Amino acid sequence: MHIPDGFISPQTYLPAYALAGVAWSWAARSLRDQLDEQTVPKLAAMTALAYGLGLVMVPMPGGTSGHALGVAMLALLFGVRLAFLSYSLVLMLQSLLFGAGGITALAINALAMGLVGSLAASLVFRALRRFGDTAAVAAAAWCSVMLPALIVALVLGLQPLIAHGADGAPLFFPFGYSIVLPAVLAPHALIGVGEAVLTLFVWRFARMRRWSLA
Amino acid sequence: MSLSMNPRRWLAAYLAAVVALTFVHQPWLLAALLALALACGSSERWRLLRRALKAVLAFNLSVSLGYLVVALWQDRFSGHYLLLVNLRVLLLVYLGFWFVGRVNLLQALAFSPTLSFLAALAVGQVAAFTRIVRDFRLAFASRNCAAIALADRARHASAQASHLFDKSICSAADTAMAMRSRGSFDD
């Protein structure tokens, strides 16, 4: 669901960077305490997996792309802070190395997918764990896709309202909410199912290898 | 000028250029800036431009066609908008590729120990993943002359995924131990 470069107005991405700056410093605050030689290899491997997953994407007419995130597995295995930082890094590498996403959209993409996605996964997992790990992980992964997709759609749909020329023609993203909400949310409801399967696979792998979980 | 530019300054200049470009709303100016960026580029300029075109093609085509249909249907089509958004996106992506091709990203991020630490780990893992996937693909192809059954493909994918995790964790563990021996985890 990356928002590509050039579709977000400065009046959106500049405040988003300010907000993301606060969130990044919050996430990095206790980083040194959380990282040791046990955690680092697993975090690096999962970050690379999320990076690879995000590159297999399908463009959508709504102005974004459909792909698995991998943020739920990061959040469930390492916690929200590490997941947010790692996913922000994934987004930065994808945008600079492959032109997927973009520097102007980085803060919004990171806040939506990295922060809200991992928070949603973590909270839903905790709330549903009493019904069994499988259901809780699957629901957490599905929500970690749908909530960021909703935020991305809301940000995109806002663009023609706040950034247009004197003649009313859009300057950045052209579609309003009536188009962008269904165009982004409907495919992601399906992508969320794939994300749930993938996250379950990684979760079981981690349990088999007796990883300590967040 | 390039002699006084270190990776950190290149990063600052790149970010400033990106922000400035989003305040430009004249297609002719964006086209002129793209021509200028190409003229200032190295011998790699056409390869980078092709790469940028390929990277933005699918997204911009889907948005542009969607806009074309909706705007014609609502009778408010603007060719100016199509030119503006496509030139802006192409220029931003070209600049990004040019920046990464010219500047060592890890050195540019060295101002933040945390960021460069995470970036070094992630970049190392991405390289390890790429190598393992290529090795598996070649090994699988070399051992199967005939058409491969779906069940065999699934078994192969499962074995590859497990190996990918284990191998990359082992290689990252090596890195982490090397970092431990150099005092990276000490306060």
pLDDT tens digits along A73-98: 889 888 899 889 888 888 887 787 77
% of chain B at pLDDT higher than 70: 92
pLDDT class of A67 with cuts at 50, 70, 90:
low
**Probe site for chain A from B50, B63, B86 (most A CB atoms < 10 A):** B63
pLDDT in tens, A23-59: 998 888 867 667 776 677 777 777 777 766 666 566 6
**What ipTM describes this predicted complex?**
0.81
Is the model's pLDDT at A200 over the cut of 80?
Answer: yes
Task: State the smallest CA–CA distance between residue B88 and chain A in angstroms.
Answer: 6
Comparing A47 with B91, the larger pLDDT belongs to B91
pTM of the model: 0.82
Inter-chain touch B81–A169, beta carbons under 8 Å = yes
% of chain B at pLDDT higher than 90: 28
Is the model's pLDDT at B129 over the cut of 90?
Answer: no
Comparing B13 with B42, the larger pLDDT belongs to B13
Which pLDDT belongs to residue A56?
59
Query: What is the distance between the alpha carbons of residues A39 and A198, in angstroms, rounded to a whole number?
Result: 21
Q: Dmax of chain A from CA atoms?
A: 61
- Chain B residues with CB under 8 Å of A35 CB are 185
pLDDT in tens, B4-26: 678 888 989 999 999 999 999 99
Whether residue A170 contacts residue A163, with contact meaning beta carbons closer than 8 Å, is answered with yes
Residue A99 CB contacts under 8 Å (≥ 6 apart), including other chains: A5, B51, B52, B55, B56, B93, B96, B97
Query: What is the distance between the alpha carbons of residues B187 and B185, in angstroms, rounded to a whole number?
Result: 7
| Least confident interval from A75-84, A121-130, B159-168 | B159-168
- Chain A residues with CB under 8 Å of B22 CB are 6, 8-10, 13, 104
DSSP 8-state symbol, B104: -
Mean local confidence (pLDDT), A116-126: 95
pLDDT class of B1 with cuts at 50, 70, 90:
very low
Cα dihedral A113→A116→A122→A128 (10° resolution): -110
- Chain B residues with CB under 8 Å of A205 CB are 162, 165
Mean local confidence (pLDDT), A95-105: 81
Inter-chain touch A13–B56, beta carbons under 8 Å = no
Inter-chain touch B173–A37, beta carbons under 8 Å = yes
pLDDT class of B136 with cuts at 50, 70, 90:
confident
Closest by Cα among B29, B69, B25 to A170: B25
- Chain A residues with CB under 8 Å of B71 CB are 174
Mean local confidence (pLDDT), B45-63: 88
Whether residue A188 contacts residue A156, with contact meaning beta carbons closer than 8 Å, is answered with no
**Probe site for chain B from A1, A53, A60, A103 (most B CB atoms < 10 A):** A103
Inter-chain touch B122–A51, beta carbons under 8 Å = yes
